[in-house]
Chains A and B, each alone.
Chain A
Amino acid sequence: MQKEIIQSDIGESYLKAEHSSGLKIYILEKPQYNSCYAIFGTKYGSIDNCFSVNGEETEVPQGIAHFLEHKLFESEDGDAFSKYAKTGAYANAFTSFDKTCYLFSCSNMFYENLDILLNFVQSPYFTKETVQKEQGIIGQEIRMYDDSPAWRVMFNMLFAMYKNHPVRIDIAGTTESISEIDDKLLYKCYNTFYNPSNMFLCVAGNVESEKILKMVEGGIKENNPLEIKRIKPEEPNEILESLVMQKLAVAQPMFCFGYKLDSSKAPTVKDRVCMAILLDVIAGDCSPLYKKLMENGLINDDFSFEHFYGDGYNAVIFEGDSYNPNAVAEEIKAEVTRIKEEGINKKLFAAIRSGLYGNAIRSFNSVENITMQLVDCAMNNTNLFDEIKYLKSVTAEDVLKRLALLENGKTVLSVINPLEE
C-alpha cells in the first residue's frame, strides 16, 4: 500500500494511503481523545443520475443515490443497525449532491465497528419486498422536506439558477421518481459507483493508523477499477429565472439569494479561502452591509451565507428571514458594486482573516469536523492543512480578484411567502 504522512505546524498530522483497489484512506490520530469518527464513502450523489461504463449509457430515476444509501443498511445476514446495537456506536449515513457517506462515531470497540462498516457497505442486498418497504419510509422523508420552508427556499433557488444541471433536483427525488426504483436499478448503480476505486475511508480520533491499514488490506473486496463517465447536460452561464416564489406556512418571508458563478473550473483551496474572506467582507457580521441591514430591520441572527460548489456548479448564496427580501437582495448587489469600485477595507480584511484562521484552528477540536474535512480532501485531492497555510498568506488583492466572479446580472432571488389568511 502506498502511504505518506502529512505534517503541519499546529501539532497535527495525518496519514494518506491508497489501497491496491484504488480506495483512498485518510487517518488523523488523536490519542488524547476518547472518541473516533469514521466515514466510508463514495463519490456518488444525487447529481450522478446519467453515466456510462464501458460505453454503455444509463439514465436512472431521480433520488436513487439516496435510496441506495437507505437500502445498504440491510444485508442478507441482518441490518447494520442491529450489529452496531451490540457495540454501542452511533451510526448514520447521508447523501449529498456529489457523495454518499456511511459513518459511525464511538468511544469503545472501534475496530469491531470499522469491521461492521466495511462489511455492510460492501454487501448489497436488495429484494422487491425490501425496496417496497423503503418507498414508504422515504416517501415520508420527502413529505417532511416538502413542509420545510428552509429546504424549499434553497431548492427553489437552485431550480431557477440551473437550467439543466441535476443540482436543480431534490436529493431524495420525488414520491413519483422513487416509485420507479427497483432492485435491478439499485444493483446497477451499486456496481458502478461502489467500486473501491471511486471510494474513500476517512478516520479521526483515538485510533492506530497501522491497525486500520491492516484491516483494510484484508477487508476490501477485489474489484477491477472502472472508468466511470459522468454525463452532464450542457449548462449555460446564464440563470433560468431571476425570481422564484412559493407560499408555505411561515410567519415571515424567507429568502435565498444566489449568484451563479463560472463553473468551468473547480475552485482550488486558495480560491475557496479567498471566497470565504470575500463573503465576510461583503456581508459578514463585521461588515458595513451587515450593520446597515441589521439596523434597518432587514435581517436577523438567522442571516447566513455560503460558497456552494461541486462538479459543474458554483454559486454563492445568502439566506435568511426578512419582511423585505427584495430590499436585502438589492443591498447586496449595491455592496458588491461598491467594493468593486472602492476596493477592500484593509483593517476589515485583517480582522476577518484572523477570525477565519482561528476558526480553522478551532475545527481541529472535533473528530467529526476533522473527518468531514478529510472527506473533502479525498473528494478534491487536496491537503488538509492548505486552508491554514493560505489563511496566513493571502492578500486583500487576491481576494478582490475573485469579486469579478460575482455578476449582478446572474442572480436568483427565491422567496417563501406566508400563506394568505
Chain B
Amino acid sequence: MAEIISLGNGVEGLFIKNSRFNTTSVSFNFYLPLNDKNVAHNALLPFILTSCSKDYPDFTSLNIKLSKLYGARLDSSCEKYGDCQLLRMRISVIDDKFSLDDDSLVLQASELLLNLIFNPNTENGSFCECDVEREKRKAIEHIRGEIAEKRVYAKNRLIAEMFKGTPYGLPKCGTEEDVAKITGKSLYDAWGNMLKTAFVRVHIVGAVAPPKFFERIKERFENLERSNITNCKICKPAKPTDKVNTVIEKMDLKQGKLVMGFSSDMYGDDDLSVPLMVMCDIFGGGPYSRLFTNVREKMSLCYYCSATSVRYKGLLTVDSGVEKENCDKAEKEILNQLDILKKGEFLDSELESSKKSFCDSLKTYYDSQNSLDLWYALKINNANLYSPEDIIEKINAITKEDVVYAAKGIKLHTVYKLLPKES
C-alpha cells in the first residue's frame, strides 16, 4: 500500500493514501540514539519547535494561525523506540473542500510545519532564552508530575530498575537535573545535531499529498551536511537473569501497585516477534485472557491486571493495582498462569479469541489517521514494511506450539512494588 521514497541520506518519505478522512496529516519523525548526555536536550526539541518560530515568534501568534487554519492541530511528542528516542512533530488539518473561504489549508499547514522545524526562533547560534526557560519549566513540571499517576509511575520505575545502566533505562525526557542544564546555545547545537544525524521519516496520511511537498523537504535536507546517521537497528534486549531483583517502595497510598518485568528471547522485527505478541495477549490482553479471567474475575483481587509487550525490546510487563496484603497472592497467581502457558495447558479457543481480537482491531487502524501514521513510525528497523493487513496474516498463521515456544522464553527479571506506608 505505502511506498518509501528516498529524500536524501537517511531521510525517507511515505505517502499513506487514504481517502476516508476529513483531514490530512503530515508528521516528521526524527530518530536519535538514546544516551544520557543528549536525552533531555533531544526531548525538549519537538516542544520548543512547535511553540514558536521566526515567523511566529510567540506561541499566541502561532496558536491564532492554527485556529485560522480551521483548528489545525499541532502535536509533539518524545517516546522511546527501542534504544532510540523518537521525536515526533505532526500537523493535521481539515481538507480544503471544507474551507469556508476556499483556502488551500493542507498546503499552508504542511508548509507551516516545515518552517517550524527548519526556521525556529533563534539568533546568533542560540534559541531565545525566554522560550527555552518556558519549555524547561514545563518539562520539569512534567517529569515531577509523573508521580501523580501511580500506574504510569510504577511502570516507569520498573523499566528504570530492569534496564539500569543501559540506554533503555533512561527516562524518556531525561531527569530534572539534565533539563536544568539546558541553555539556548546547547539546545541550538542539539537542534543542528538532530537535523544532521537523525534518521528521518516524513509521513503524509490523507487523500492527496500536498503538491511537491516531498521535493521541498528534499531541498531542505540537501543543504545540510548529513552524516553519522542514527542506526535504528541497534537495540539490545533485556538480559535474562537467574536472580530476580525485587524493589519495594512505600508511599502514602490506599492501593498498592505490582509490576513485574520479564525478559523474552524473542525480539526485533515483526517476523521474529509476532508469536510473543500473541502469547502476551492470551496471558494478559483482553477480557478473555488468563490474567483477567483468573486474577480479576475468579479471585476478585483487582480491577486491572494486564500484560503488555515491547516487542523490539524483548520485554513483557504485567501490572496490577492490589491491596497490600494481596500482593504476594496476586504475584503467585500471575506466575502460575504463565506456567500454564509454558506447559501448553490452555484451550485452543483462547488462541482463537486472541487471533480474532487482533485481526478485528488491526483492521480498525485504517480508520484512524493517527494510528496509521504511528504504525509506520514504529516500523523503522524492519526488513519489510508490513501493513496492518500483513500482520493479520502473520497472526493467523500462529499455532499453539508457537505460543508455548514464546512462553518458554519468558523469564522473570524484576518485580517492582509500590506499597502504602504503614498507618
Q: Which residues of A are at the interface with B, using a C-beta cutoff of 8 A?
A: 10, 30, 32-35, 81-82, 84-91, 105-108, 133-134, 136-138, 140-141, 143-144, 146-150, 248-252, 254, 285-286, 288, 290-291, 294-295, 297, 300-302, 321, 348, 351-352, 354-359, 361-362, 364-367, 392, 419
* B67 contact from A136, A251, A295, A351, Cβ within 8 A: A351
Interface size, B (range): 35 or more
* A300 contact from B59, B142, B356, B363, Cβ within 8 A: B142
> Chain B, 351-365, contact with A by CB distance < 8 Å: what is the 0/1 string?
011011111110110
Among B143-151, B192-200, B334-342, B403-411, the stretch that binds chain A is B143-151
- What is the distance, in angstroms, from A385's C-beta to the closest C-beta of chain B? 14
Q: Which residues of B contact A138 (CB under 8 A)?
A: 303
- What is the distance, in angstroms, from A314's C-beta to the closest C-beta of chain B? 26
Among B31-39, B116-124, B223-231, B366-374, the stretch that binds chain A is B366-374
Q: Which 8 A-B pairs have the closest CB atoms?
A: A358-B70, A88-B356, A358-B71, A136-B300, A355-B67, A88-B360, A251-B144, A355-B71
Q: Are B60 and A290 in contact (CB under 8 A)?
A: yes
- What is the distance, in angstroms, from A32's C-beta to the closest C-beta of chain B? 4
* A144 contact from B142, B252, B255, B359, Cβ within 8 A: B255
Q: Which residues of A contact B134 (CB under 8 A)?
A: 294-295, 297
Which B275-332 residues have C-beta < 8 A from chain A? Answer: 286-288, 296-297, 300-304, 321-323
Q: Which residues of A contact B361 (CB under 8 A)?
A: 88, 90, 107
* B254 contact from A82, A87, A147, A348, Cβ within 8 A: A147
* A30, A85, A288, A357 — most chain B CB neighbours (10 Å): A85
Tell me the bound Cα distance from A225 to B367 in angstroms.
39
Q: Are A137 and B137 in contact (CB under 8 A)?
A: no
Q: Which residues of A contact B363 (CB under 8 A)?
A: 34-35, 107-108
Q: Which residues of A contact B73 (CB under 8 A)?
A: 362
Supply 20 further A-B pairs (C-beta < 8 A) apart from A86-B356, A358-B69: A34-B367, A82-B288, A88-B356, A105-B364, A108-B356, A108-B363, A140-B321, A146-B255, A147-B253, A251-B144, A252-B144, A252-B145, A288-B60, A290-B60, A291-B58, A291-B60, A354-B100, A355-B66, A355-B70, A362-B92
Q: Using known A-B contacts A143-B255, A249-B253, determine if residue A34 contacts B366 with beta carbons closer than 8 Å.
A: yes
Q: Are A87 and B60 in contact (CB under 8 A)?
A: no
Among B16-24, B156-164, B212-220, B379-387, the stretch that binds chain A is B16-24
Q: Are A81 and B287 in contact (CB under 8 A)?
A: yes
Q: Are A354 and B64 in contact (CB under 8 A)?
A: no
Instruction: List 19 interface pairs A-B (beta carbons < 8 Å), by A numbering.
Output: A10-B98, A81-B286, A81-B288, A82-B288, A85-B286, A85-B353, A87-B356, A137-B303, A144-B303, A144-B304, A144-B321, A251-B145, A251-B148, A285-B59, A291-B60, A300-B138, A354-B70, A362-B92, A419-B252
Q: Using known A-B contacts A137-B303, A150-B148, A249-B251, determine if residue A143 contacts B321 with beta carbons closer than 8 Å.
A: yes
Q: Are B252 and A136 in contact (CB under 8 A)?
A: no
Tell me the bound Cα distance from A82 to B289 in angstroms.
10
Tell me the bound Cα distance from A249 to B267 in angstroms.
36
Q: Are A89 and B360 in contact (CB under 8 A)?
A: yes
Tell me the bound Cα distance from A364 to B322 in angstroms.
39
Beta-carbon nearest neighbor of A364 in chain B: B22
- What is the distance, in angstroms, from A120's C-beta to the closest C-beta of chain B? 13
Q: Are B356 and A359 in contact (CB under 8 A)?
A: no
Q: Using known A-B contacts A88-B359, A252-B141, determine if residue A32 contacts B296 with beta carbons closer than 8 Å.
A: no
Q: Are A140 and B322 in contact (CB under 8 A)?
A: yes
Q: Which residues of B contact A364 (CB under 8 A)?
A: 22
Q: Are A362 and B23 in contact (CB under 8 A)?
A: yes
Q: Is B63 an interface residue (CB 8 A)?
A: yes
Q: Which residues of A contact B253 (CB under 8 A)?
A: 147, 249
Q: Are A285 and B357 in contact (CB under 8 A)?
A: no
